[in-house]
Amino acid sequence: MVTTNASNEPTAASGKVLQGQGVGTASNFSTATYPSTAGTSGKVLVSDGTNIVSSTPTFPNASATSGKLIQSDGTNWIASTPTFPTTAGTSGKILISDGTNIISSTPTYPNSASGTGTILRADGTNWVATTSTYPNTNAVSTLLYASSSNVMAALATANNGTLVTSNTGVPSILAGPGTTGNILQSNAAAAPSFSTATYPATTGANTMMISTSANAVTTTTFIAATSYTPALAFGGGSTGITYGTRLGRYTQIGNMVTFSADITLTNKGSSTGNATISLPVTAAAGVPTVELFLFLGAITTTGTYNSLDITASGTTGLVVQVVASTGAATALTDAAFGNTTVLRVTGSYWV
Query: Concatenated DSSP letters for 184-235?
Result: EEEETTEEEEEEEEE--S---TTEEEEEEETTEEEEEEEEEEEE----EEET
pLDDT digits (tens, 9 = 90+) for 56-79: 999 999 888 899 999 999 999 999
307 with 255, same domain: the answer is: yes
Q: Are residues 185 and 230 in the same domain?
A: no
Domain-embedded: residue 87:
no
Residue 5 confidence (pLDDT): 56
| Cα dihedral: 38, 40, 45, 46 (round 10) | -140
For residue 179, is pLDDT > 60? Answer: yes
Q: Are residues 181 and 254 in the same domain?
A: no
In a domain, 163, yes or no: yes
- Does residue 319 lie within any of the structural domains? yes
pLDDT of residue 312: 42
Please tell me the predicted confidence (pLDDT) of residue 25.
87
Last residue of a domain, one of 149, 179, 197: 197
Q: pLDDT band for position 189 (50/70/90)?
A: confident
pLDDT at 333 over 80: yes
Give residue 181's pLDDT: 87
What are the distances in angstroms from CA 231 to CA 73, 207, 262, 276, 316? 101, 27, 10, 8, 11
Q: Which of 197, 217, 252 is the last residue of a domain?
A: 197
Indicate if the pLDDT at residue 200 is higher than 90: no
Quote the CA–CA distance of 237 and 235 in Å, as a whole number: 6
pLDDT at 306 over 60: no
* Reported confidence tier of residue 9, pLDDT bands at 50, 70, 90: low
Give 299's pLDDT tier (boundaries 50, 70, 90).
confident
Q: What is the pLDDT of residue 32?
A: 92
pLDDT reading at 30 higher than 70: yes
Separation CA 347–CA 178 (nearest Å)? 46
| Mean pLDDT of all residues in 9-25 | 84
For the ranges 194-198, 215-219, 301-305, the one whose mean pLDDT is highest? 194-198
Q: What domain count does the chain have? A: 2
Q: Which residues contact 202 (CB under 8 A, 6 or more apart)?
A: none
The predicted structure's pLDDT at residue 210: 81
Which H helix or E strand runs over 253? strand 241-253
Beta strand 95-97 with 190-198 is unpaired
Say if 293 falls within a structural domain: yes
What is the maximal distance between C-alpha atoms in the chain?
173
Answer yes or no: do 320 and 237 share one domain. yes
Both 250 and 344 in one domain: the answer is: yes
Residue 177 lies in a domain: yes
Residues 314 and 258 placed together within one structural domain of the fold: yes
Judgement on whether residues 345 and 230 belong to the same structural domain of the protein: yes
Phi-psi region of 181 (alpha: psi -120 to 50; beta: other; left: phi over 0): left
176 and 257 in one domain? no
Say if 191 falls within a structural domain.
Answer: yes
Q: What does the pLDDT read at residue 218?
A: 85
* DSSP codes of every residue in 92-146: T--EEE-SSSEEE-SS---SS--STT--EEE-SSSEEE-SSB--S---TT-EEEE
Q: How many CA atoms does the CB half-sphere of 109 hold within 13 Å?
A: 10
300: containing domain: 225-350
pLDDT, the chain, mean: 86
Do residues 295 and 188 share a domain?
no
- The larger pLDDT score, comparing residue 71 to residue 203, is at 71
pLDDT of residue 320: 79
pLDDT at residue 228, as a whole number: 96
CA distance 158 to 304: 74
The number of beta carbons lying within 10 Å of the beta carbon of residue 257 is: 23
Confidence of residue 203 (pLDDT cuts 50, 70, 90): confident
How many Å apart are CA 175 and CA 155, to the nearest integer? 13
Residues 177 and 230 in one domain: no
Residues 336 and 234 in one domain: yes
Q: What is the pLDDT of residues 79-98, one digit of tens each?
A: 999 999 999 889 999 999 99
Higher pLDDT, 306 or 265: 265
How many residues in the chain? 351
Asked if the model's pLDDT at residue 340 lies above 60, the reply is yes
Q: What percentage of residues in the chain have a pLDDT greater than 70?
A: 89
For the cut 90, the answer to whether the pLDDT of residue 12 exceeds it is: no
Residue 22 in any domain: the answer is: no
244 assigned to some structural domain: yes
The vertex-111 CA angle with 107 and 113, nearest 5°, equals 120
Neighbours of 41 (CB within 10 A): 7
What span, in angstroms and rounded, lies between the C-alpha atoms of 242 and 268?
A: 7
| 274 and 183 belong to one structural domain | no
**Does pLDDT of 303 surpass 70?**
no
Mean local confidence (pLDDT), 104-120: 91
